[in-house]
Amino acid sequence: MLKLTLLAAAGIARRQPLLAALAAVVPSEVLKPGAALKAGRWAMVIDLRKCLESKDCRDACARACHMEHNVPNIANPQHEVKWIWRERGAHLFPEQLDEFSGAALADQPIPALCNHCANPPCTRVCPTGATFKRTDGIVVMDPHRCIGCRFCMAACPYGSRSFNWEDPRPSLKTVNPEYPTRGKGVVEKCSFCDERLAQGRLPACVEACPRGAMAFGDLRDEQSPVVKLLRENYSIRRMPELGTQPAVYYLVSK
């Protein structure tokens, strides 16, 4: 019995018949939370029309993410660590907004996060393999292997990565015991909540957004919400000319 549960926890019992058999014998709370969410290529769609309308959310997305992942709140802007934050539209889409189209976005605070690029320059340059792209497209960080050379930060054209210039732990107001804290001298960034996906949950920011402005799903699955949104709406991505192929899409009005 215990053996079977362990097998299930280790994700070995992934084949459906076995899983069904397990479900019959293992008390339901053991398998909780749901089975891992899987995808061919994870992507996020941020509907700016909804997002920017929501004036009273007080950055629910960033607060949820930073609380969950023990991201410190450091006052010195040059030592800041952030996974998702707001940035002026003109900064995010430098050559894409002109005085007519998209002009309204230029001064708006728009959420920015790691784009989980299909062709990520950051992983290419890492000398230790501490940051790498998974087969489902998520670009992850192994803070235990990172030597803190910051080559990945030089390579990321989006400023999505943060370095721990100082020990982040004293700047944590509360610590989420479910997620590791980091030490000084390593790089970190948004992980598309790989730990939540493994438990069958959507990313923290997606869940936290009170307007439902963020959608998350599989680009390879025609039925996924992201594909539907992208087929039906006009979207832009950050600096498409660099060939990085971001997996974060922004829906804007035409």
* Residues making contact with ligand SF4 (CB under 6 A): 114-117, 120-122, 125-128, 130-131, 139, 146-152, 156, 158, 160-161, 187, 189, 244
Does residue 95 belong to the site contacting another protein (CB under 8 A)? yes
Choose among ligand SF4, another protein, none what residue 90 binds, the Cβ cut-off being 5 to 8 Å by kind. Answer: another protein
Burial of 95 (0-12, 13-18, 19+ CB in 10 A): exposed
Cβ closer to another protein: 35 or 242?
242
Does residue 79 belong to the site contacting another protein (CB under 8 A)? yes
Rounded to the nearest whole angstrom, what is the least distance from the CB of residue 41 to another protein in the complex? 20
CA separation for the pair 59, 110 (Å, rounded)? 10
Q: Could you count the other beta carbons within 10 Å of the beta carbon of residue 184?
A: 12
Cβ closer to another protein: 23 or 149?
149
CA separation for the pair 237, 95 (Å, rounded)? 12
Token code pair at residue 70: 């023990």
Does residue 109 belong to the site contacting another protein (CB under 8 A)? no
Question: Which position among 49, 86, 150, 220 is part of the footprint of another protein (CB under 8 A)?
Answer: 150
Does residue 154 belong to the site contacting another protein (CB under 8 A)? yes
* E strand or H helix that includes residue 63: helix 60-68
Q: Are 152 and 187 in contact (CB under 8 A)?
A: yes
* E strand or H helix that includes residue 195: helix 194-197
Rounded to the nearest whole angstrom, what is the least distance from the CB of residue 129 to another protein in the complex? 5
Per the listing, tokens 């493994």 go with 198
Cβ closer to another protein: 113 or 208?
113
φ, ψ of residue 173 to 5 degrees: the values are -75, -45
* Interface with another protein (CB under 8 A): 76-80, 87-88, 90-92, 94-95, 121, 124-130, 145-151, 153-159, 162-167, 184-187, 239, 242-244
